[in-house]
Chain A
């Protein structure tokens, strides 16, 4: 069974601080996605990383995919209260042709003004 371990589970920081969320597995994924979810809503895709070693930037968010395609990280620079939410990583199995997503447990981020 493929698992994604996401850490930390909870993070409460002050506005302006930096943070990193990690997503680790012993399995290889063909791609890895990061989502953000607000209360009462479905997850919204932030980014997809496909190539080992890939780095993508989305404004203050930087996403990395590990060289071996088993791990990923999300780094937020100068966090703002609007960044508050649940962040989820999700992997697509390298051996799957169904596209089903294997999700991490999520990181609940609170950014205090």
Chain B
């Protein structure tokens, strides 16, 4: 597709379960970012990939959060043992260099 694609668009899960969120960046974009957005708020940086490496993981809030990228393409953000405070929209962005970033529509995660 022409844009950044994220799946699922919505995810509802029970507290304590693990979840995987997927991001398909724009083809050829080497930089990939994950952000978290709480309701009505700005975005918080989580992690940055350049190719398949993650030189900046400084925004991951705890060791329950991890991410990987393969083939310089698809990225997966995994949250283990989900907590209610993890409820948010998780947004992925990609770029050819570092700017400008093109955002997907996000995955809305709800923890019951």
Q: Is the interface on chain A under 10, 10 to 19, 20 to 34, or 35 or more residues?
A: 20 to 34
Q: Are A48 and B99 in contact (CB under 8 A)?
A: yes
Which has the most chain B C-beta neighbours within 10 Å: A31, A44, A88, A99? A99
> B98 to chain A: which residues have CB within 8 Å?
92, 97-99
The verdict on B42 contacting chain A, using a C-beta distance below 8 Å, is: yes
Q: Are A101 and B45 in contact (CB under 8 A)?
A: yes
Interface residues contributed by chain B, number (CB under 8 Å): 27
Binds A, one of B12-20, B76-84, B103-111: B103-111
In the assembled complex, the Cα of A103 lies from the Cα of B37 at a distance in Å of 10
Binary CB contact string for chain B from 1 to 35 against chain A (1 if under 8 A, 0 otherwise): 00010000000000000000000000000010101
Task: Identify the B interface with A (CB < 8 A).
Answer: 4, 31, 33, 35, 40-45, 48, 50, 55-56, 59, 91, 93, 95, 97-101, 103-106
